[in-house]
Amino acid sequence: LISSSKDVARRNKDESRGAGTGLGTANFDTDEEAENFRLSLGTKFIKFCVSLVKLNIRNPYCAIPYMSDYKEPWTDERFYKHFNITKEEQAVIEKEIEKYS
């Protein structure tokens, strides 16, 4: 995962090395934040982002926006508001994701 500042996002931070345990992971201060991140991966918005770049069985983590705050759950509605997604664009996203349901 890549943050908006192009840093690799990490989880399970190893304080002795000052880095996370590997690429494609992310650091969170609390279990609640980690769970909110995990739940965000199930939103139609995130599934749509992934569908734009997915070419094979591997999950393209580069397509997942890494938000700076996971203290509150990220829902489709919250993503739409944050990224100023119009009602028409929301309809396109939801129609596209229906193909995969």
Reported as a single tens digit per residue, the pLDDT across 14-60 is 444 444 444 456 678 888 988 898 899 899 999 898 888 766 666 56
Residues above pLDDT 70, as percent of the chain: 64
Inter-residue contact 9 to 3 (CB < 8 Å): yes
pTM of the model: 0.68
3-class DSSP state of 84: coil
The two tokens of residue 18 are: 């000052």
If we measure between CA atoms, which residue out of 42, 52, 96 comes closest to residue 73? 42
